[in-house]
Amino acid sequence: MLAFCNETVRCLEDNIVSTPAEADMAMIMGVGFPPFRGGPCRYIDQMGLDNYLALCEKYAHLGKAYEAPQKIRDMAAAGETFYATA
């Protein structure tokens, strides 16, 4: 699911979607992201951005799709989340 989540974050970076909630709903309703996970952004928040970033770094050798987007790196460094409470 890393590549899928990363692409969702890239959509936020590129202003294809405006909010994490919009991105999550689109991925759940549009392409079948597991609803019990709450969407890619909620899933990343629940995992913790630092943990998610570490997982991306672990699999980055598989290709660009697995490399964490800059937005994830910036948010992790600032201690931010997509939603106020994860």
Among 72, 78, 76, 65, which residue's Cα sits nearest to residue 13?
A: 72
Distance between start and end Cα atoms, the chain:
18
At 21-52, the pLDDT tens digits run: 999 999 999 999 999 999 999 999 999 999 99
pTM above 0.85, yes or no: yes
Which has the closest alpha carbon to 27: 46, 36, 40, 14? 40
Give the side-chain half-sphere CA count within 13 A for 35: 2
Phi, psi of 5 (to 5 degrees): -65, -45
